[in-house]
Amino acid sequence: MTMAAALAGPDDRFDAARARLDFPCLHQTVHGRPLVYLDSATSAQKPQAVIDAVAGVLCHDYANIHRGVHTLSERATDLHEGAREKVRAFINAAERREVVFTRGGTEGINLVAQSYVRPRARPGDEVLITTMEHHANIVPWQLLGEQIGLKLVVAPINDDGELLLDALPGLISERTRLVSVPWVSNALGTINPVHDIVALAHARGVPVLIDACQAVQHIPVDVRELDCDFLVFSGHKIYGPSGIGVLYGKAELLEAMPPYQGGGDMILSVSFEGTEFNELPYKFEAGTPAIEAAVGLGAALDYLVGLGIDRVAAHEAELLADATRTLQQIPGLRIVGTARAKSSVLSFVMDELHPHDIGTLLDLDGVAVRTGHHCAMPVMTRLGVTATARASIGLYNTQGDIEALATSLRRITAMF
């Protein structure tokens, strides 16, 4: 048996060892050692339910969607739009038309930059972000700076990697067109107080975009309760396929935005004299979509909901706390990012060893972690490092994985 109630232990705690059985890629050896996968913040592994859903579309139901009248096209359309409804329910959006499928969180941010901010901004107008951003929430605004003279305002963090919330009111001005922040830092694991940020911005009449790429797999999301104006996330980080993501936007905002790209399926009619665009959400979905990936994302959400995201989050929090205590005892190892509120990420450095060397040596023991700047170079600079090794926890990780990581790191310490 897989999923849902089957994954409860005797005291109703989440049973990660049983959940792990649902993930075929985890059942292999690397360099003769059992794989310990601690890189889910980069891309999570896929459960069999997702693999079967994608394969099912490709084997039995694949055709282009929306405009076909034959049976396969109608089935594929129903599956694709059914996945959109699953996303709507998962984030509690008010309407299905508020869910736009994108190639990932990055495209969602770029869409908001070009379709929402650009038409409304004038030279000298501002977008407020934070020091802990992924490059995907920096570069699109810098491109707007080159295109229209938009200015980037950056909220500071402290040495623990926590946002200085008290600084935000002084950084929001009459020229602020958007506040765009991560719910969870990909490089540090810091959980930001997004409810407070939304309230602060809305009190000044400024809309808010939430980058939830590192949040939706760990934290229950309710966009209506949060009252954010936009929210983005990526499928591949929430146990779904790559090449698929979601932009949520309030319907009234999306209605007023021009299309981000032009092409097929985002139109109602086209002549050489002009084009009439399609209704929401299709006017933002030009071209043939990632049909099987959308269905796979829907299956991933079904899987996570079936497990119980609260139970998964409690399991991950317990593992993170244990891993933090364990790694702090290793001589010469320093954790980077020690915020009081964290989720599933441990970034660290070691004396005399470059993070890339740490990652290579861990791999020889079958332990997979991420190394580098994690597409977050400004926060590395702020905290005085060029790179870190990053272990990140998913629902399938166990206490044994943490012990394997610590054992390998102790061996590395002894070697040097």
Give the active site residues: 375
Distances (CA, A) of 295 to 75, 108, 215, 283, 292: 12, 19, 21, 20, 5
What is the CB neighbour count within 10 angstroms for residue 34? Answer: 15
Please compute Rg for the chain using Cα positions.
22
Distance from C-alpha of 91 to C-alpha of 99, rounded to nearest angstrom: 10
Residue 371 makes CB contacts below 8 A (sequence gap 6+) with: 355, 356, 358, 359, 387, 388, 389, 390
Residue 44 · residue 214 · CB < 8 Å: no
What residues contact residue 372 under an 8 Å CB cut-off, 6+ apart?
355, 356, 387, 388
Question: How far, in Å, CA of 237 to CA of 90, rounded?
Answer: 15
Which of 373, 396, 393 has the alpha carbon at shortest distance from 327? Answer: 393
